[in-house]
Amino acid sequence: MIANPPVELTDLTQVEHALASSREGGHGTVRATTLNLVVYAPTPEDVGYTQRALERIGGSRPLRAIIAGAGHGGVRASVSTSCWLGGGMQQVCSEQILLTARADALPSAVLSLLVTDLPTFVWWQGPIPPGLGILADLAAHATTTIVDSTVSSLEGVATVGSLDASVTDMAWLRLEPWREAIASLFDPPLAAAALATLHTVAVQGPVNEARLLAGWLRSRLERQVALKHEERVHVERVAAHCAEHEFSIERRERVQVGRAFGLGQTEHPVVLPLLDASTLLGRALDVHTGDAVFEAALTASVEQAA
């Protein structure tokens, strides 16, 4: 990675010029930018976490990241570019703007810095605030809001879902290999027949991910499915109980391969990758439209709790 040193600015109208100067001298170059990413990072730890995730995404998605935090006094921006060498010595470059402004001025400052007419993602890392607050203001300019119901709440995520932007839940993306493995267990004809009798799902894992899985099953099968939950840091085991049969998937230790077993099939390996923040963020940035299956699962999860 080639990182150009940051330039400190207090006038946002100078940001574009500073970024252009940073790109190969800024004259006559054609840049490729595919999206805006707005991150609300209120603490230095949040900023560091974001920057590490962006660095690991590398050059896979050339983007403009606006890492915004509320502060006192006037607006301040620190702009920089980072480039990665691709095949044929081509550079993939991303721009980063570290922005500080008063909370009430922050949304307008962000708006002025978005690259025109590109998809805009708002990545909200922490718990979702009651009443949404600044999250709602930032999401108003976004096509997609990225949240994580594992560190927030499913009810909070449902509230974000009421905004205009579509919602991507990192927890939902984290569960995708598990959902794939569960679905795969019910492909064989004998198992497909048993699916009609699925009544309980037992999940060892974070509670909100367990609730989402149960909500997913309820919404897809259009009937009640009870949840038995044991708290774990990561999802480690899922068992679906259908009449007298159990279909199970288990990840032994913290490796990316588990075993699956169910009616009509022998025990077989399944790929269950442990996805880190940058991988999840990368996947979230590939989702440009609402996910009806997720929305139904979320609704079913929240309704069941209520």
Partner 1 sequence: MAQVASDPSANPLRAGLRAGGATVPAVFVIFGATGDLAHRKLLPAIYNLGVRGLLPNRFAVVGYARSEMSDDDYREQARASLERFSRTPIDENYWTAFADSLHYVSGGFDDTDHFRALGDRLDRIDKGHGTEGNRVFYLSTPASFFPVIVNNMGEAGLNNPPGFARVVIEKPFGHDLQTARDLAETVHRSFEERQIYRIDHYLGKETVQNIFVFRFANAIFEPVWTNRYVDHIQITVAESLGVEHRAAFYEETGVVRDIVQNHLLQVLALVAMEPPAAFEADAVRDEKTKVLRATRPLSFENTVRGQYGRGFVAGEEVVAYAEEQDVPPDSNTPTFIAAKLEIDNWRWAGTPFYIRTGKRLPKRVTEIAVQFRRVPHLPFSMGAAEHLEANSLVLRIQPDEGISLRFGAKAPSPTVAISTVNMDFLYGSAFMHDVPEAYETLILDAIRGDRTLFTPQDGVERSWELCDPLLEQWRSGTPQVYESGSWGPDLAAELITRDGRRWRRP
Q: Are 285 and 35 a contacting pair, CB within 8 Å?
A: yes
Q: Which one-letter amino acid corresponds to residue 227?
A: L
Stretch near partner 1 under the rule CB under 8 A, chosen from 1-9, 139-147, 178-186, 203-211: 178-186
Stretch near partner 1 under the rule CB under 8 A, chosen from 12-20, 99-107, 124-132, 173-181: 173-181
Is 157 a residue that touches partner 1 (CB under 8 A)? no
- Round to whole Å and give the CA distance between 169 and 159: 13
The encoded tokens of residue 40 equal 């609300």
Write down the least CB distance from residue 297 to partner 1, Å.
10
- Considering the complex, state which of residue 140 and residue 271 has its C-beta at the smaller distance from partner 1: 271
Contact letters for partner 1, residues 115-154 (x by CB under 8 A): ----------------------------------------
Write down the least CB distance from residue 262 to partner 1, Å.
10
Q: Tell which positions 191-230 bind partner 1, by CB under 8 A.
A: 192, 195, 216-217, 220-221
- Considering the complex, state which of residue 43 and residue 256 has its C-beta at the smaller distance from partner 1: 256
Write down the least CB distance from residue 161 to partner 1, Å.
16
**Side-chain half-sphere exposure of 183, counting CA atoms within 13 A:** 10
Write down the least CB distance from residue 62 to partner 1, Å.
6
- Considering the complex, state which of residue 11 and residue 286 has its C-beta at the smaller distance from partner 1: 286
Write down the least CB distance from residue 249 to partner 1, Å.
10
Write down the least CB distance from residue 87 to partner 1, Å.
5
Partner residues linked to 270 by β-bridges: 258
Q: Tell which positions 261-290 bind partner 1, by CB under 8 A.
A: 264-266, 268-271, 273
- Round to whole Å and give the CA distance between 189 and 51: 48
Is 86 a residue that touches partner 1 (CB under 8 A)? yes
Q: Which residues bind partner 1 (CB under 8 A)?
A: 30-32, 34, 58-62, 84, 86-88, 90-93, 176-177, 179-184, 186-189, 192, 195, 216-217, 220-221, 255-257, 260, 264-266, 268-271, 273, 291-294
